[in-house]
Chain A
Amino acid sequence: MIGKYIPVAVLALLTVSPARAEIARIKSSTGVAAIERGAGRLPAAPGLQLLAGDRLVTGKNGRISLSFIDNTRFSVGPNSRVSVKDFVYDRTRQRGSFLTQVDRGSLAIVSGHIAKSDRDAMKVRTPNSLLGVRGTRFIVEVPK
């Protein structure tokens, strides 16, 4: 009986672990600044590792800056809510896909390797639009 269950557990571990790998690291934060992960909430302290699916949330005076493993850089402004909906990256080939959703607030981006890997491999969604990043520096603002 036990032998029947262990391989399933091992398989579950194998399929879960790549998705839980580090995708970015917090470099700085000020004011009210947190990472929401599932139902949990972590202070956005420098060095904190981000996982795909995490949400960056700031209050009135909050700011967060972070760098991704493909060299993309983010600066999140006050009163913001930004989710990394999808982040897949092959470090050897420097290719992947990246979808960020800006629900509110402001986000400055310097794109990295993923944006260069394929046309529109990096996308940004706002409540009323979808953008394809073609390698650049830009700001997205979503007022309340």
Chain B
Amino acid sequence: MRGLGRLAAAGLFLGLSACQHSSLILLPDEGGGHGAVAVLEANGKPVDAVVSQPDSRTKLGDATPTTRPAQLKGDEIALLSGMPPPPKSFTLYFVEGTTDLTPESQPALAELRAEIARRPGVDVEVTGHTDTVGSAEDNDRLSQKRAEQILGLLATVGIHRSLMTAVGRGERDLREPTMDNVESAINRRVEVLVR
């Protein structure tokens, strides 16, 4: 009797998932290559499956999800073409110890302004980076301060403050990999990301 009850419950679940068959379409990344999506649960039960085949369609809700090659339909193509463009990054270098842009960085500032004007609903992330001289904590503070200074500078050249946020990444993202406590003008930089 109990077995029958379970079967009936399972039937109910299958019925539910049949009319609510969510699906996953895994696509190649924009820059080539592809990632993966794990299926962690189906109908409240743990599942251990990873979808890693690009251009595939996976029906969700079964204990063992089935993946098949996929041709995108019209509404899926429209969905992808509605995706915001990837963020664009600009790197600015400064005369050491100042907030004066190096002459080489002046054209980047002009491009930055043009990119900001081009994007509806734009937001701008100003990220400071240091070299590896000094402690990691000091560099977090220094990079944050540098980012805030540059944000102020960008505000004075007409980029509205409400569009911008300042972030300090310290010495986590070295442009030129070095050992600890190495001076590097290339690593002491500000990246401006336009989203």
Contact = CB atoms under 8 A, between A and B. Distances in A.
A143 B60 CA distance: 12
Interface string A110-144: 11000100001001001111111111111111110
Contacts of B165: 69, 91
Contact of A131 (B38, B119, B144): B38
B30 interface: yes
A20 to B, nearest CB: 15
B84 A142 contact: no
B190 interface: no
A139 B76 contact: yes
- Residue among A111, A123, A127 facing the most chain B CB atoms (10 A cut-off): A127
Secondary structure of the A contact surface, majority rule: strand
A102 B35 CA distance: 20
B176 interface: no
Interface residues of B, number: 53
Contacts, number: 163
Nearest to A80: B79
A21 B125 CA distance: 15
A111 B79 CA distance: 15
A131 B40 contact: yes
A65 B82 contact: yes
Nearest to B170: A92
Contacts of A130: 39-41
A58 to B, nearest CB: 11
Given A28-B84, A73-B84, A77-B75, A92 B121 contact: no
A92 B141 CA distance: 10
Nearest to B140: A92
Interface stretch (B4-12, B14-22, B103-111): B14-22
A66 B186 CA distance: 32
Interface of A: 25-28, 46-48, 63, 65-67, 69, 71, 73-75, 77-78, 91-94, 102, 106, 108, 110-111, 115, 120, 123, 126-143
Interface of B: 16-17, 20-30, 34-43, 47, 50, 60-61, 75-76, 78-80, 82-84, 86-87, 119-123, 125, 140, 144, 165, 167-170, 172, 193, 195
